[in-house]
């Protein structure tokens, strides 16, 4: 069979390729991750599309539009400072990730682990970890020691740390009843060597004796409403004044000292009861707090009598009556109505009284601990 020449079927025309830069411009513009980048990609894509006959002009134009809007918003945010909060959150998140940090660089809100898990020793650096997990301690704040001359000695530094860290910790965790069991005061103090290099800072923290903290203990003024804040300021002031009791176990050993302390209790309770009475409470809240206020006033009257006691027996009589006047049940009821913690801390977990510590650690009213910084 004879045949003529064979001709293949003509191929269908092929579509030109889509510009990858156009796709990139569209995605970047929609996500607004880096707005100026979407503008650049879109502009370059339009040039290539025209020159090479590629597809994707619509995507490039859309990407340019979205990127232009995103860029304008970014410029406005920078100009008005609106981006600063996001940038600060980014930095906080970065800093809260696991990293080794010198003890001199610890900052308020840092949660950290000590190498080996032993808190009461000199350390150069600690491991900063996210607060949401388990950790050895959490920084509540810091302060600079008043003495800027020669190294004052571990005992002198500990005395200042005991007094001032107590205030720092109460400001950081205002509702002490909310602290986990075992959490107590802790601090890092300058070592003789670090002092000579200009380190005069005490770093205050919370730590858990014989265990780990889990989650942040922070509950400061920024987390409380006006009623909660007013109540805790008064309750914490009473707690601080109670912690100033003389070191002697028996009133007989220092009656003048105990009478002076009774005078301080009188003043504290009077001012705090006055502040609570004058506070403008939310609807229905005053009735829940009134019994606690009445207890403060009754206790104040007994402390007045204790301050004027002629002997130790009279002091015991009136200080005991003052203690009974402030019923824990009244405080629990007030706390419940205000949305605060209602489980009293145990008396031996380090929540009452000022902690003490220093280079070697120590215990006192509140069984605080301490360590020294080393460089």
CA-based torsion, 135, 211, 117, 195: positive or negative: positive
- 0.75 exceeded by the pTM? no
Decide if 102 contacts 125 (C-beta within 8 A): yes
Select from 80, 110, 131 the last residue of a domain. 80
Shared-domain flag, residues 112 and 72 = no
What confidence tier does 242 reach under pLDDT thresholds 50, 70, 90? very high
Shared-domain flag, residues 107 and 48 = no
Decide if 355 contacts 369 (C-beta within 8 A): yes
Q: Which of 63, 72, 62 is nearest to 37 (CA)?
A: 63
Distance, in Å, from the CA atom of 301 to the CA atom of 269, rounded to the nearest integer, reads 9
Residue with tokens 């509950």: 219
Is 7 inside a domain boundary? no
Shared-domain flag, residues 33 and 142 = no
Shared-domain flag, residues 147 and 270 = yes
Running DSSP on this structure, what letter comes out for residue 212? -
Shared-domain flag, residues 76 and 219 = no
**pLDDT, tens digit (0-9, with 9 covering 90-100), for 99-113:** 888 888 899 999 999
Shared-domain flag, residues 177 and 221 = yes
Helix (H) or strand (E) holding 190: strand 183-190
Shared-domain flag, residues 199 and 74 = no
The mean predicted confidence, pLDDT, of the chain is: 80
- Helices vs strands, H then E, count in the chain: 11, 9
Distance, in Å, from the CA atom of 141 to the CA atom of 203, rounded to the nearest integer, reads 6
**In the prediction, which pLDDT does 98 show?**
57
* Cα–Cα–Cα angle for 122, 124, 129, rounded to 5 degrees: 105
**pLDDT, tens digit (0-9, with 9 covering 90-100), for 185-209:** 888 899 888 888 888 999 999 998 7
**In the prediction, which pLDDT does 355 show?**
33
Query: What's the token pair of residue 122?
Result: 């000199």
What confidence tier does 116 reach under pLDDT thresholds 50, 70, 90? confident
Give φ, ψ of 162 to 5 degrees: -60, -45
What confidence tier does 115 reach under pLDDT thresholds 50, 70, 90? confident
Mean pLDDT computed over 247-267: 96
Give φ, ψ of 331 to 5 degrees: -70, -40
Shared-domain flag, residues 63 and 205 = no
Is 10 inside a domain boundary? no
Is 325 inside a domain boundary? yes
Is 139 inside a domain boundary? yes
**In the prediction, which pLDDT does 365 show?**
26
Is 90 inside a domain boundary? no
**How many structural domains compose the chain?**
2
Shared-domain flag, residues 28 and 175 = no
Q: Enumerate long-range contacts of 90-96, CB under 8 Å, 24 or more apart.
A: 95/128, 96/128, 96/129, 96/130, 96/131
**In the prediction, which pLDDT does 9 show?**
40
What confidence tier does 89 reach under pLDDT thresholds 50, 70, 90? very low
Residue with tokens 């986990």: 180
Distance, in Å, from the CA atom of 44 to the CA atom of 41, rounded to the nearest integer, reads 5
**In the prediction, which pLDDT does 372 show?**
62
DSSP bridge pairs for 159: none
Q: Does residue 257 register a pLDDT over 90?
A: yes
Higher pLDDT, 105 or 13: 105
**In the prediction, which pLDDT does 354 show?**
33
Is 136 inside a domain boundary? yes
Shared-domain flag, residues 113 and 249 = yes
Decide if 185 contacts 169 (C-beta within 8 A): yes
Helix (H) or strand (E) holding 195: helix 192-196
**In the prediction, which pLDDT does 93 show?**
47
Helix (H) or strand (E) holding 370: strand 369-373
Q: Does residue 150 register a pLDDT over 90?
A: no
Residue with tokens 């805790």: 232
Shared-domain flag, residues 136 and 263 = yes
What confidence tier does 278 reach under pLDDT thresholds 50, 70, 90? very high
CA-based torsion, 95, 97, 103, 108: positive or negative: positive
Distance, in Å, from the CA atom of 354 to the CA atom of 236, rounded to the nearest integer, reads 12
**In the prediction, which pLDDT does 81 show?**
53
Give φ, ψ of 132 to 5 degrees: -70, -25
Is 174 inside a domain boundary? yes
Distance, in Å, from the CA atom of 134 to the CA atom of 113, rounded to the nearest integer, reads 9
Distance, in Å, from the CA atom of 28 to the CA atom of 66, rounded to the nearest integer, reads 9
Shared-domain flag, residues 144 and 292 = yes
Domain range for residue 203?
97-373
Decide if 359 contacts 161 (C-beta within 8 A): no
Decide if 354 contacts 166 (C-beta within 8 A): yes
What confidence tier does 315 reach under pLDDT thresholds 50, 70, 90? very high
Is 11 inside a domain boundary? no
Distance, in Å, from the CA atom of 232 to the CA atom of 261, rounded to the nearest integer, reads 22
Which range is least confidently modeled, 31-40, 64-73, 77-86, 267-276? 77-86
């Amino acid at each position: 069979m004879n045949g003529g020449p064979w001709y293949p079927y003509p191929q269908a025309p092929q579509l030109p390729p889509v510009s990858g830069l156009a796709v990139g411009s569209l995605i970047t513009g929609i996500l607004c991750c880096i707005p100026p980048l979407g503008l650049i990609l879109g502009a370059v894509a339009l040039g290539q599309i025209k020159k090479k006959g590629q597809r994707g002009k619509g995507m490039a134009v859309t990407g340019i539009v979205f990127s232009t809007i995103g860029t304008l918003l970014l410029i406005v945010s920078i100009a008005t400072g609106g981006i600063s909060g996001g940038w600060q959150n980014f930095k906080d998140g970065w800093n809260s990730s696991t990293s080794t940090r010198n003890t001199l660089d610890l900052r308020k809100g840092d949660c950290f682990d000590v190498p080996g898990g032993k808190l009461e020793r000199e350390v150069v650096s600690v491991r900063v970890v996210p607060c949401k997990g388990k950790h050895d301690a959490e920084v509540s704040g810091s302060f600079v020691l008043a003495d800027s001359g020669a190294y004052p000695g571990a005992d002198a530094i500990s005395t200042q740390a005991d007094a001032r860290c107590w205030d720092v910790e109460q400001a950081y965790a205002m509702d002490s009843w909310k602290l986990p069991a075992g959490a107590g005061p802790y601090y890092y103090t300058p070592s003789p060597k670090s002092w000579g290099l200009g380190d005069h800072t005490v770093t205050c923290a919370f730590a858990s004796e014989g265990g780990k903290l889990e989650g942040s203990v922070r509950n400061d003024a920024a987390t409380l409403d006006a009623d909660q804040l007013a109540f805790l300021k008064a309750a914490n002031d009473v707690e601080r004044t109670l912690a100033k009791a003389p070191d002697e176990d028996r009133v007989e050993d220092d009656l003048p000292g105990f009478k002076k302390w009774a005078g301080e209790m009188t003043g504290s309770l009077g001012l705090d009861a006055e502040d609570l009475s004058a506070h403008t409470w939310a609807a229905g809240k005053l009735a829940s707090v009134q019994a606690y206020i009445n207890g403060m006033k009754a206790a104040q009257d007994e402390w007045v009598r204790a301050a004027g006691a002629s002997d130790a027996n009279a002091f015991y009589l009136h200080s005991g009556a003052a203690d009974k006047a402030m019923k824990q049940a009244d405080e629990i009821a007030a706390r419940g109505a205000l949305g605060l913690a209602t489980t009293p801390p145990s008396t031996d977990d380090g929540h009452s009284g000022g902690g003490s510590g220093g280079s070697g650690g120590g215990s006192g009213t509140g069984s605080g601990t301490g360590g020294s910084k080393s460089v």
